[in-house]
Structures are given as C-alpha cells and as structure tokens.
Amino acid sequence: MKVGFVSLGLIGGSVAMAIRDKYPEATIAAYNRSRDPLVQAMKDGVIDIATFEIDDSFRDCDYIFLCAPVQTNISFLSALKPYLTDKTVLTDVGSTKSNIHKAVSEKMSGVHFIGGHPMAGREKSTYFNASKELLKDCYYFITPSKAATEDDIKGFEELIRSIGCNPITVDEEKHDFIVGGISHVPHMAAYMLVKLLMDNDTPEKYMKEAAAGGFKDTTRIASSDPTMWEEICLANKDNLTRLLDDYINDLKDVRDLISKGDGDALFKLFKEARDYRNSIIGS
C-alpha cells in the first residue's frame, strides 16, 4: 500500500503514525511546507518519502490524505490531479465537508473522493504534538462523493477501522450540521466565555488569577488555532448561524429564569441537561 499526505500537522501526522503502526510495510510519502516536521517524521520512521512540492512522489498512491486547512486543501487539487490514478482514493481530514466536495466536483470530476473527518484533536497543533493514540476509538466521519465506488467506500471504512477509529458514513451536508453542533458551536462558546472574562475582569485581574479547573476545562479549546477557526466559521456559516441562534435563545431563557428566581424551572432544565450529558458515551 502507498499512502500520501499533503501537510503533516497534528491530524495528518497522527493518521500517518497510525497507518505506519498498523501497516509497517506501507510506503508513505508526505509533502509539507516547512522542513522540520518532514525531517522529524523521517527520523521517526513514519514516512519514507519527504517532499516540498506536489510532485511525482504522489504517483500511484492508494490513498492521499489532504491534511491542511480546508481552503488550503482546495488549493492543492489542481497540482495533485496529474498524479491520481484509477486506484487512488483522495480524502481529507477537514472539519467541514460541503466546500471540499463542491471544489472536487468542479476541479476534479470523476476522481474517487471520500471526505473524512476524525473527531479527534488537541488545542496544540503541529506534527510534534501528533500521536497514533490520538485516533484511538475516535469517531471518523466519512462522506463519499458520487464518484466513489462501493469498493472505494468499503476499503476506506476498513482502513479507518484498522487504525482504531469508528467510521460513520453520512452525506456532506448532514456532516456539517452535526459537527456544527458538537464541535463548532462549543468552540464559539469557549472563545466567548474567555472574552466575557477578559472584558469584565477586575482592575486587579482577579478573575484571570483565580480561574480554576471548571473554567479552564470549559474553555480549553479556546487555545485552538485562530486561523483554522476563522476558516471553519466562514465555511460552515449557515449551520453555525442557525445553531448559534438557538443557543442564544436558550441563554436568554435561562437568564430570564434566573431573573425571575424560578428555581423549579432552573432545576428541571439543569436535570434534563445533566441526564442527557450523562447519557453520552464515554461521559
């Protein structure tokens, strides 16, 4: 098996490590803009071929993973096209899917594209924070294009399972709505909670100094890459707008209950939310 990676950051590096661990005889090629991740990946034995260009290194790959931010992934499509063969499945690991599907359809009609999104990550990016363990037992969304065959889909699902992930196959629009709720809105909430503290802290900065485990746990993801989240917001703006409207209305409702001193209603709300939270697998 030959596998290519376009960009070797946190997720790309983690997928490459997991594939190397499961398929030690695989040939793994990687492009990256900066030198250090490629040098380290070669030293680690994770990759066999390092390149600073989209070139012949990617010819005859069984799978090519696009692992840069979504808009950057789209910019690589034309350069990759000459190196794709009928056996190549092109995939990505981006947090939104509708835009990459649209771009592939327009620029690379007929290419066997299967969108992918592992629900794993850390607030710190780069290859140097990657680990094969990052993917262990994570859910991995798969969004096949119309050009992907049943064999393509089956083979990719088997690959994802083999590296420890649980594939969920949906269409790209449903994916974007789902992750809008479970990932994108929580990131917005975390960023805004940090801003709330920043804007309302005392002159002595006691809020910042005294912020304890609860606040830090809730806002950990606000340490994520701002550039990436700017792109995600713009790429999934319709779903985010809809879900944020619902969230804002819910916040207004709980504000009104607090203002009215309606303890019974507050208890019911908190209990229902607690019970639902406790029903989530892995809670």
- Which tens digit of pLDDT belongs to each residue from 87-102? 999 999 999 999 999 9
* pLDDT bracket for residue 109 (50, 70, 90): confident
Q: Using the predicted structure, report yes or no on whether residue 123 has a pLDDT greater than 90.
A: no
Q: Which amino acid is at 210?
A: A
Q: In this predicted model, which residue has the larger pLDDT, 63 or 71?
A: 63
Cα–Cα distances in Å, from 98 out to 106, 129, 141?
A: 12, 28, 13
* pLDDT bracket for residue 283 (50, 70, 90): low
Can you tell me the distance from the alpha carbon of 178 to that of 121, in angstroms, rounded to the nearest whole number? 17
Can you tell me the distance from the alpha carbon of 239 to that of 123, in angstroms, rounded to the nearest whole number? 23
State the chain's mean pLDDT as an integer. 94
Residues 6+ apart with CB under 8 A from 219: 190, 193, 194
Which secondary-structure segment (H or E) carries 189?
helix 185-200
- Which tens digit of pLDDT belongs to each residue from 210-253? 887 889 888 988 988 888 899 899 999 999 999 999 999 999 99
Q: pLDDT at position 2, please?
A: 98
Q: pLDDT at position 101, please?
A: 97
Cβ-count burial of 9 within 10 angstroms (0-12 exposed, 13-18 middle, 19+ buried)?
buried
| Residue 197 phi, psi dihedral angles, 5° rounding | -65, -45
State mean pLDDT over 202-211.
91
Token couple for 203: 């002159």
| From 57-61, 185-189, 216-220, the region with the lowest mean pLDDT | 216-220
Can you tell me the distance from the alpha carbon of 164 to that of 21, in angstroms, rounded to the nearest whole number? 11
- Which tens digit of pLDDT belongs to each residue from 135-169? 999 999 999 999 999 999 999 999 999 999 999 99
DSSP string, 131-183: -GGGGTT-EEEEEE-TTS-HHHHHHHHHHHHHTT-EEEE--HHHHHHHHIIII
Q: Which amino acid is at 219?
A: T
The listed range with the strongest mean pLDDT (48-57, 68-77, 218-227) is 48-57
List of domains in the chain: 2-170 (3.40.50.720), 175-278 (1.10.3660.10)
